Homo-oligomer: A and B are copies of this chain.
């Protein structure tokens, strides 16, 4: 019993120290961080149907991250309107960006998942990054988390000016995905609707004739963008 406690304690300490090397601080409640890295395939059931995995922390971390980024952008761009702020934030917290951040922080090695589950699974890296933010928030409070995100995430890893320049081009990404996976993609105008005196196009993004996204806009380009964004979300890319 004592021995088991000793093993547990030493494992926790090692994990805590690895985290310190990456995050720059030593966690108080190590169990929270363990949970942040536990995929449901490797998690225990704490109650019928509810697993002790990272999803709940991810929900919390997603909100905290969104608020800290909102605060940062609000202050950095005092003369930009809410449309700009919203767009910038969604670029910063996009799946692609979060996956990248997770890899840069080297979080992959902490992920606990069952055999047969690939750690390279598209979105698990980003999920775990958000869950980690949730764990830090519960462990250390909001102000600490805000400073961590500003200093260690934004400052060290994000190029805000570059992100500002990048137009999110969902159509290109959708086509890239299809080409990589060797699938046949198509964009099909399936309907034109008169909205008052405005003509709106409804365009579907398809993979192998299967509809994965639909966009509606007065501009065909814009409708394709919306359809592609939807399709990518469905593909988890």
Contact = CB atoms under 8 A, between A and B. Distances in A.
Interface of A: 46-47, 49-50, 55-56, 58-60, 63-64, 66-67, 70-71, 74, 79-82, 85-86, 137, 141-143, 146, 190-191, 193, 195-196, 202, 210-211, 214, 216
A142 B74 CA distance: 15
Given A63-B70, A74-B60, A86-B59, A81 B49 contact: yes
Closest 8 CB pairs of A and B: A63-B70, A63-B67, A59-B82, A142-B142, A55-B82, A67-B67, A47-B79, A60-B74
Nearest to A48: B79
A118 B7 CA distance: 68
27 contacts: A46-B79, A49-B81, A50-B79, A50-B81, A55-B82, A56-B81, A56-B85, A58-B82, A59-B74, A59-B85, A59-B86, A60-B71, A63-B63, A63-B71, A64-B67, A64-B70, A67-B67, A141-B143, A142-B142, A142-B143, A142-B146, A190-B191, A195-B210, A195-B211, A196-B210, A211-B216, A214-B216
Contact of A211 (B60, B85, B137, B193): B193
